Structure 1
Amino acid sequence: MKNFKSSLLLIACISWITFPVIATYADNNQDERSQITTPIKSKRQLAREVLVELGIGRQYDLYFWNSVDIAVGNPSRSKFNVWLQKTLARVAGWKYVESQYVSRLEANFSELELQELLELSKRPLMKKLLRSEIQAYEETGEKRAKLLYQAWDDYNSGKIVIPSNLMK
Structure 2
Amino acid sequence: MATPKFTLELRKKIGHDLLWLIGVTGLVRDGEGRILLGRRSDTGEWALVYGINEPGEQPADTVVREIKEETGVDAVVSDLVAVTSSDHVLTYANGDQAQYMDHAFLCELKPGGNAEPFVGDDESLSVGWFGLDELPEPLAASTVERLALFKRYLANKEHGDAHALFVADGEQH
Q: TM-score, normalised by structure 1?
A: 0.21
Higher relative contact order (CA 8 A, sep 6+): 1
The structure that has the greater radius of gyration is 1
Which structure shows the higher helix fraction? 1
* The structure with more strand, counted as a fraction of residues: 2
TM superposition score normalised by structure 2: 0.21
